[in-house]
Structure 1
């Protein structure tokens, strides 16, 4: 079951990347919407990772 979920996530990620490239080349409106959602989700994940690392660094600094 977990493998199916991971495969689904990979398919969505690849599909989003394809839509980003297609939208950049002037694809249909729905591809531009999917591309916007994909880029926004990527940005949220990137910021989340930065915030998580900052929190870990603060915990490490407090422990010394």
Structure 2
């Protein structure tokens, strides 16, 4: 079951990346919307990753000071 979910996520990611490229080359209007959603999702993932690193760093620093 988890494998099917991971394959589904992979298909969505690859499709979104394809739409980003197609929209950059002047694709139909729907590709621009999908590309914008893909880029927004990527920004959200990057923000979350940075936030997790900050939290981990604070947690490590507080343990070392403790």
Q: Could you say which TM-score interval applies, normalised by the shorter chain?
A: over 0.9
In 2, the alpha carbon distance for the partners of 1:24 and 1:50 equals: 27
Count of aligned pairs = 64
Structure 1 residues without counterparts, runs of 5 or longer: none
How far does residue 55 in structure 1 lie from its aligned partner after superposition? 0.3
User: How high is the TM-score relative to the length of structure 2?
Assistant: 0.95
How far does residue 23 in structure 1 lie from its aligned partner after superposition? 0.2
Q: CA RMSD in A?
A: 0.4
Q: Which of structure 1's runs of 4+ aligned residues deviate more than 4 A?
A: none
Structure 2 residues without counterparts, runs of 5 or longer: none
Residue 29 of structure 2 corresponds to: 29
